[in-house]
Amino acid sequence: MLKEKKAQIVSNLADDLSRSTIVIATNYQGLLAKQMTDLRNALTKAGIEYHVVKNTLVYRAADEASRPHLKDIVEGPVALAFGYDDAVNTAKALHQYIKSTGSSLQIKGGLLEDRVLLPEEVTSLANLPTRDVLVSRLIGQLQAPVRTLHNIVGYPLRGVLTVLQNRAQTATE
């Protein structure tokens, strides 16, 4: 029965790993049970799964999911946060919880697709603006040259219009 249960856990972890866009490893030592429950609830609201797992089972799941780089960040007592949509939102939710509660939770690293992230990189990712803000900034940058061209081309025409209006006004006086 124990082997079957472990095989099921490995299978579930492998499924989570293959579906996730980012996995963030944390050291949960020092958290009380109530804090762990609050953390799970906060992350669940953001669409993030959070599991305390045995390292050996994570290693097996990483091999099964073809994401062996995860082994580089799993060391010692570890809990994994699985983000399935926007990687930035996952990092933001975890970072925001740590910051707002003053929790002793520590980020050990992350796995973004097949790239291993250092704890500082996960924090930098959490400090990025949202996707919508980045898209709007990009659109603004793309519109800037067109706006400049419009002003350059339109300036002589505005000058001609002003001269014609002045002529028409002096002619009627």
Instruction: Please check the confidence at residue 130 and state whether its pLDDT lies above 80.
Output: no
Instruction: Please check the confidence at residue 123 and state whether its pLDDT lies above 70.
Output: yes
What are the extents of the domains in the chain?
2-128, 129-173
Name all contacts of 112-118 with Cβ < 8 Å and 24+ positions apart. Answer: 112/21, 112/22, 112/87, 113/21, 113/22, 114/67, 114/69, 115/69, 116/69, 116/72, 116/73
pLDDT at res. 101: 83
pLDDT at res. 24: 92
pLDDT at res. 82: 92
Residues of the chain above pLDDT 70, percent:
99
Instruction: Please check the confidence at residue 1 and state whether its pLDDT lies above 60.
Output: no
pLDDT 10s digits, 50-77: 989 898 999 999 988 888 888 888 888 8
pLDDT 10s digits, 89-113: 889 989 888 888 887 888 899 998 8
Class of 2-128 in CATH: alpha beta
Mean pLDDT of 158-166: 82
Radius of gyration of the chain (CA): 27
Give the type of residue at 148: T
Confidence (pTM): 0.73
Mean pLDDT of 105-124: 89
